[in-house]
Amino acid sequence: MTNIYIVRHGQDQDNEHGILNGHRNMSLTEKWIEQAKQLAQRIKEEQIHIDKAYSSPLQRAYVTGEIITEALQINRPEKLDILIERDFGIMSGKEIKDIEKLCSPDIVKTDTITYFLFPEGAETFPQLLERANKALEYISQNHKEGNILIATHGDFWKMLYTAYYKLSWESVLREFHFGNSEVLLLSPDISAEEAHLFQTQQYNH
């Protein structure tokens, strides 16, 4: 049996300044480097053994994974391009507060986040879901058992969760939030409702 622990990166400089990042490669803030260290310690205290770690190639995810693997004294994450954040297209670098103005009516608005659906050049959520299925297939083919850590991003983790539990991507966007430095467990023994292990109160896009 394979268990997949998904970690969302800590707050990066774009998050801090209200900027949509996508493939932009900004570093973690000092506050969230410390938060990642606290998360690593919590994983260690919970005695969660990790057999293999993977990461998005973007530094905000990789550094988060690196801090965790260092605390657990295991090999650093292997970077996989397929785990990169959604391509935000022309919305990359735009201010989060302008999403509704620039993308309406093609948005999904929740109490915490407004998602844009298909601005020019952006991956759509169905395309992101297809990539998530490929990522899960890669993990399945390479790991028949064990605990796998994936350090990735807000929009992409949602599609990993959607793909694993065969849910509706629209319902996941509306009903489920994944904050910075939170952990999900995808496992045959865990239901979709039980998957959210460690939570914070961060609502960065």
Question: In 10 A of CB 99, how many CB atoms?
Answer: 20
Q: Where are the alpha helices (DSSP H) in the chain?
A: 13-16, 30-45, 59-72, 99-103, 125-142, 154-165, 169-175
Question: If DSSP codes are grouped into helix, strand and coil, which group holds residue 97?
Answer: helix
Q: What is the pLDDT of residues 89-108, one digit of tens each?
A: 999 999 999 999 999 999 99
Which of 60-74, 95-109, 160-174, 189-203 is predicted with the least confidence, judged by mean pLDDT?
A: 189-203
User: pTM (2 decimals)?
Assistant: 0.90
CATH number of 2-198: 3.40.50.1240
Cβ neighbours of residue 200 under 8 Å, at least 6 residues apart?
Answer: 35, 179, 180, 181, 182
* Spans of all domains in the chain: 2-198
